[in-house]
Each structure stands twice: as C-alpha cells, then as structure tokens.
Amino acid sequence: MSWLLAAAVVWAGCTWAALRIARGPLSRRRAGQVAVAALFGATVLVLWEGVVRGLAVSPVILPPPSAIAATFAGALPVLWGDFVQTILKGALSGWAIGCGAAVATAIAIDRSDFLKRGLLPVGSFMAALPIVGVAPILVMWFGFDWQSKAAVVVVMVYFPVLVNAVAGLGQTDRLACDQMATWGASWAQGLWKLRLPAALPFIFNGLKIASTLALIGAIVAEFFGSPTRGMGFRISTEVGRLALDMVWAEIWVAALAGSGFYGALALIERALTFWHPAQRARG
C-alpha cells in the first residue's frame, strides 16, 4: 500500500512541477523542455515500480524497473555478446551493404528515365510490404549465423533507401545543372559536386528509416534460427523461461542501440548538410 501511495505522491508532484514549467517562461528554453521530458520519463519509471510492488504483480508478468536494472548490470557480458552478434555483425553490416547498394542503384538508374519510371513504383510498392517475412527463406539460404541476418537487413533497407535516393537525385535545380554544363563539368563532377550533395537530405532520410528497419530485421530474423547468442535468440528463449527481467534488459539494449544509431546519423547529417535550410533554421 505504501508503495502505491508513494508512487501517487511522486506522480502528483511531477505533474505539478511539469505544469509549472510548461506554463512558465522556462518552457521556451531548452533546459525547461528537457526537464519536462525527463520528469515524464522519471514519473513513468516511478509509477511502474510503485504499482508493480504495491499490487505485488508477479515478476513473470511485469518485473519492476529496479529488478531490470539489476539484471542489466549483472548480465553485462551476455548483453554485450548479444549486442555484438546482432547489432554490430548482423544489423550494421547489412545496413551498410543495403544502403550502399541502394544509393549505387539510384545513381545508376538516374540517367535512364525509363528505368526510373519503372523502378520507382515497384520500389515504393516493395517498401510497403512486410519484407521481414523473407527472414525464414534467407535463414535457410545463408545459415544460422549473422550472415543470414545481414541478408535480411539488406533486403529490408534496400527499397526505402532506393526510393529516397532517387527522389533526392531528382531534386537538383535545373539552373544549377545548366551552370555545371556551362563550366564543362563531366558527368562524374556534376554528380559529386552538385547532385549528390543536393540529394543528401533525402538520402539521410532514407538512411534514418533504414537504421530502425535494420535493427528490426536483425532481431526478428533470429526468431527463425540463430546460434546460441544474439538479441532475438535471447528474447525468444528467455520469454520461454519466463525470465522477463532479462527480456526487458535486452529491450533496453535494443532501445539504446536504436536511439544511438539514429542519433549518430542525425549528427553526421547535420555535419554534412549544414547548408540546408532545415538545418540552418535551428540556429
């Protein structure tokens, strides 16, 4: 009972503080905005802990955050091994191959209007399909280890990046193209110095979508067969043993990896497309 009461008090306190900040002058400042978001996150954690302990919810249904944190800290070597297997080997290598192939294809078909008109509808159609379903097939073809996961990721990220890259390459200003022609620029020079930079905001949009898809693909593909390590393997086996604190720890790893990957891409994008209005507007 005291847990529930404490949780309710913290909830009320945080809500009051968040409302104060949101209505006050601080809400226009970055510090205030971060504080409100952090308060909300903290409230959810405290409520979760309080309700689980207060109502004595069984740990096989929902473990409290403290237990998850303890498992997380205790199982660091295992989690690191899974992270290397799934994220670094499976997702990252597949992401790099898939995105590289997609951008290369976009550059290759960019000169042919016929291919563009044919491939774009097919590409956007494929991008909407539940491609993760090819996982069982690719696991059969490439074996249980990370190669099959990378293959799933390649197929998943290829079409969204292709569609974005083709759209980006079509963004170049007609006038700027003519200017390059006036200067006698070769096709490669025009591509490297004008069209590729102009396409970067679109390509990065595709890369960011692909980063989330890559993690999903690598994890879900492990549900169809994997060596005895990897995040998807761990999640499915620990769910079977009802060791939910370990499952939640893996989910935290996935969340950290996902937001870290995305954040790194956003930083690179900011460094490479500093000239774009969307970046300059932030000041």
Partner 1 sequence: MRHVLPVLAVVAAIIVAWYGAAAWMNSQWTLDQAAREGRELTIVDIVNDTMVQERPKLPAPHQVGAELWKTVVATRPGSKRSLLWHGWVTLSATAAGFGIGTVAGLLLAVGIVHSRAMDLSVMPWAVASQTIPVLAIAPMVIVVLNSVGVSGLLPKAVIAGWLSFFPVVVGMVKGLRAPEPMQLDQMATWNASRGQLFWKLRLPASMPWLFASLKVAVAAALVGTIVGELPAGATSGLGARLLSGSYYGQTVQIWAALVAAAVLAAGLVALVAATERLVLGRMGMRR
* Contact residues for partner 1, defined by CB under 8 A: 15, 18-19, 21-23, 27, 32-33, 36-37, 39-41, 60-62, 114-119, 121-122, 125, 128-130, 132-137, 139-141, 208, 211-212, 215-216, 219-220, 223-225, 231-232, 235-236, 239-240, 242, 244, 247, 250-251, 254-255, 258-259, 261-263
Residue with tokens 């890369």: 207
CB of residue 31 vs partner 1: minimum separation in angstroms?
12
CB of residue 94 vs partner 1: minimum separation in angstroms?
14
- Contacts of 2-9 with CB under 8 Å at 24 or more apart are 2/54, 3/49, 3/50, 3/51, 3/53, 3/54, 4/50, 4/51, 4/54, 4/55, 5/54, 6/50, 7/46, 7/47, 7/49, 7/50, 7/51, 7/54, 8/50
Phi, psi of 173 (to 5 degrees): -65, 130
CB of residue 42 vs partner 1: minimum separation in angstroms?
10
Of 124 and 279, CB closest to partner 1: 124
Of 35 and 185, CB closest to partner 1: 35
Looking at the chain, how many residues does it have?
A: 283
Q: Which two tokens stand for residue 283?
A: 């000041």
Of 196 and 209, CB closest to partner 1: 209
Of 8 and 196, CB closest to partner 1: 8
Residue with tokens 């059969």: 140
CB of residue 193 vs partner 1: minimum separation in angstroms?
29
CB of residue 171 vs partner 1: minimum separation in angstroms?
19
Of 81 and 225, CB closest to partner 1: 225
CB of residue 130 vs partner 1: minimum separation in angstroms?
5
Of 115 and 196, CB closest to partner 1: 115
DSSP one-letter code for 126? H
- Which run of H or of E encompasses 195? none
Of 118 and 227, CB closest to partner 1: 118
Q: Which residues, other chains included, contact 110 with Cβ-Cβ below 8 Å and sequence gap of 6+?
A: 116, 166, 169, 170, 195
| DSSP string of 57-85, one letter each residue | --TTT---HHHHHHHHHHTHHHHHHHHII
CB-CB contact of 265 with 212 (8 Å): no
Q: Which residues, other chains included, contact 239 with Cβ-Cβ below 8 Å and sequence gap of 6+?
A: 247
Of 30 and 174, CB closest to partner 1: 30
CA angle centred on 199, ends 197 and 203, rounded to 5°: 115
CB of residue 146 vs partner 1: minimum separation in angstroms?
16
CB of residue 61 vs partner 1: minimum separation in angstroms?
6
